[in-house]
Every structure is written in C-alpha cells, then in structure tokens.
Amino acid sequence: MCVAGVDEAGRGSLFGPVFAAAVILPACVTIEGIRDSKQLPPTQRSILAHQIAERATTWAVASATAEEIDRINILQASRLAMKRAILMLDPAPDYLLIDAVTVDLPVPQQALIKGDARCRCIAAASILAKVHRDKCMHQWDATYPQYGLSRSKGYPTPEHLLALKLYGPTPFHRLTYEPVRKLCSNHQLDLRLTAGGEVGRCP
C-alpha cells in the first residue's frame, strides 16, 4: 500500500502563496533527522529536503495563490494546495495521512492533529513544503526588497509590518489578513484589482 504524507507551509504568512507537499516514502528507507520542519534550522531542512526528494517513491509540491487565499480563505486554500500536490503523485497513493485536515478526494484518509510531529511521511512533507516556500520568498525578495521577505518569509515581523505601513501592500499580499487590512488604506487595498491580479508562482 502506498501511503502519502501531506502537509502545508505558510498559513500564517501575510505574503504569497501557501505551499503544500505530498510524499510517499518507502517503508525500507530511513532518513535520520526527519521531524516537524519548524523544529529544524534552515540548513538542516535543505539537506533533508534533498534526501527526501532523492529517496521518496514519489513527491510533489503545489501551492494556492494569495488571491485564492483571499477568495476562499486560508483553510480552504491550504486544502486546495494539498489536493493539487496529491494529484501530482505518480504512483497515486492508496491512503493519505494529512496534518490536521482532510481533502476533497476519493482516497481513504486520516487527519492527524500535530501530524508533522507524529508521522515521518507528514514530517517529510512539511520539510519539502517549507523549503520550497522559503526558496520562493528568497526569489520574491529580489523584486520587493523593502519587505525583507528573505528574512521574514512573509510573516508579520516588525520589519515587515513597518514596510507595509510605509509602502502599502504588493499585488501578492493577502489582503484579507487583518495586519494587512489594518496597516493599508482602502486605496492601497485596491492594488490587486488595478494591477490585473496575480499568478501563483515565484518570479
């Protein structure tokens, strides 16, 4: 039986897509150090992500855009990103272990609270999702250096909040998130519409 672990990264960020990963790890494969990505330093996460990608039966990373997050809310956008990642797996999984939620797919599945701390395939997915999202934030930092995205990863750090107050939101900020709405004027919040929307990929 092919069991896929599924997790997301970036739900609390103010900027950019939410990412999700799905991973099927062979039962015979052992990768030392796999655990919840939030407990790992960036260098170790990157090393583990490379090992997971090399040794997994299959894996995939997908995302849902800031526009989708604003339109359907972060929970549903996270589930959408997870669904997209799962559908990219080849071979397709027979069973899903998902961190905290379920997805709208006709596949037997179980939502595990704190699954990234309890299950190695969910932890592996959390690592891949986090590493891919961090890479995306580094790339966006070159386009929007004033927000410090390579340091904050889009989360509401004092530096990021000050930049929002001074410069307003980009077309890739999550406009329905309270810190963005609170710090930006109504005129600024129309930016996405006047800019013609967004695409859900890194620059």
- Assess whether pLDDT exceeds 90 at residue 131: yes
Q: What confidence tens digit (pLDDT) does each residue in 25-67 have?
A: 998 888 999 987 888 999 999 999 999 999 999 999 999 999 9
Prediction pTM value:
0.91
Six-digit token pair at 110?
């179980």
Interatomic CA distance for residues 63 and 76, integer angstroms: 12
Say what the pLDDT of residue 194 is: 46
Q: How far is CA 26 from CA 23, 49, 55, 126, in A?
A: 10, 15, 8, 17
- Assess whether pLDDT exceeds 70 at residue 100: yes
Arithmetic mean of pLDDT, 172-182: 93
Say what the pLDDT of residue 36 is: 78
- Assess whether pLDDT exceeds 50 at residue 123: yes
Interatomic CA distance for residues 122 and 102, integer angstroms: 13
Interatomic CA distance for residues 35 and 48, integer angstroms: 10
Six-digit token pair at 151?
């340091």
Say what the pLDDT of residue 35 is: 86
For residue 109, give the H/E element and its range.
Answer: strand 109-112
Interatomic CA distance for residues 63 and 69, integer angstroms: 10
Q: Indicate the domain borders of the chain.
A: 3-139, 144-194
Strand 18-24 to strand 3-9: parallel, antiparallel, or no bridges (unpaired)? antiparallel
Interatomic CA distance for residues 108 and 164, integer angstroms: 43
Percent of the chain at pLDDT above 90?
A: 80
Average pLDDT, the chain: 91
Domain 3-139, CATH 3.30.420.10 — does that match?
yes
Q: What confidence tens digit (pLDDT) does each residue in 184-201 have?
A: 765 455 554 444 444 446
